[in-house]
Amino acid sequence: MGPEMEAMAASIGVSVPVLRFLLCFAATIPTGLLWRAVPGATGRHLYAGLTGAALSYLSFGATSNLLFVAPMALGYLAMLLCRRRAGLITFLGAFGFLIACHVYYMSGDAWKEGGIDATGALMVLTLKVISCAINYSDGILKEEGLRESQKKYRLTKLPSLIEYFGYCLCWGSHFAGPVYEMKDYLDWTERKGIWASSTPSPLLPTLRAIVQAGICMGLYLYLSPKFPLSRFSEPLYYEWGFWHRLFYQYMSGFTARWKYYFIWSISEAAIIISGLGFTGWSASSPPKAKWDRSKNVDVLGVELAGSAVQLPLVWNVQVSTWLRYYVYERLIQKGKKPGFLQLLGTQTVSAIWHGLYPGYIIFFVQSALMINGSRVIYRWQQAVSNSVLRSILAFLNFAYTLLVLNYSCIGFQVLSFKETLASYQSVYYVGTIVPIVCLLLGNVFKPARKPKAQKAE
């Protein structure tokens, strides 16, 4: 298989390890289809965990599964021995282990150079064991005062080892997400809740996700040679004028996103075909099946976002939801409104989860600025009554999001501090200055609050 794999990898411009990963990743779709035929809840738990472990072994080697044992064992022991503090212990321990692996494997450099390792799967597993432990800790709290997400996902009973094993290594989300909750996994596996009765056919939505994946991969393979990251360190880039450099930054970010769209579309197909992606029926007439649990990205929603505030709702959706439930909302003190510090704290956790590269940290700090600047423009937009002016402000918010997002994401791609600052400096830090100016102007030109309707006496 060696020469054949090398020839196949060369034909699509990837390394042999990446090709092996892609083949195993694509295999999650038929694996999901076969899951539907496995009898009994215990059989399905074992099938989910064993197939996930087998695909990890084929993709990353035997050591990958040994890597996953540490956070899985920590999370389960914390739930077993210290329920009240299990969430905090697992959060700190699992994140600490992930950071150590990021430092040891330097996975960002491997991905950047066309390599692959198991830390991507470990990132997903980290979120899953943390949410499971936190929800088990929430299970002993009184419902009064809990947020809706806590009430919905809290676990009153400790999952069995087989249930936990299947949840952690389940093939559908093991490689690249989407992250889902233990309670949903148990209901799906045991055919309870919305899965108690027959579910709609997953064929058409699965085919749609596969077609989308093919289009995304095709666009990425077409665009990536035309807009290589290496150009940012070449003298030619710095010979261009401001607008040419800014355009290249946009195209670089635009090109890179199609790789993620491809990955998440394959994951979506695997989750849908297994049935786990089903989330119920719409309120429309006639009702339509919804597959929201499998959705990790809305391609048009990202590329045509009218506001930076919308981006967490359409990009890496399930991780954004996890961050909201388990970081952002838990940083808000009772009786107080969330502000910039909660957003910055959440983005910092997201940056550390991705890796300790300066480019990641700079990108997520930038994204906090970007979102808050967009909120200012939106408040102005809502405050004006003139339809023309409102349309102008809406367009400015769209242009602002386009500019700052693609400027900021260069750091996410090049990773190093020097290259990130050099790319930002090449366009005079426009994507940093504009959000700061918006925030400053927002403190000077505050839109009038709309009067609240008085209660009838």
Q: Looking at the annotation, which residues are catalytic?
A: 354
Helix or strand holding residue 138 (H, E): helix 119-138
d(CA 193, CA 150): 18
d(CA 118, CA 98): 11
d(CA 365, CA 102): 20
Torsion of CA 129, 134, 138, 140, to 10 degrees: 70
Task: Answer for the pair 397, 373: CB distance below 8 angstroms, yes or no.
Answer: no
What are the structure tokens assigned to 160, written together?
Answer: 């069995």
> Quick one: which of 142, 135, 58, 134 has its CA closest to 94?
134
Sign of CA dihedral 82, 87, 92, 97: positive
DSSP states of 90-133 as a string? HHHHHHHHHHHHHHHH-HHHHHHTT---THHHHHHHHHHHHHHH
Number of H helices, E strands in the chain: 24, 2
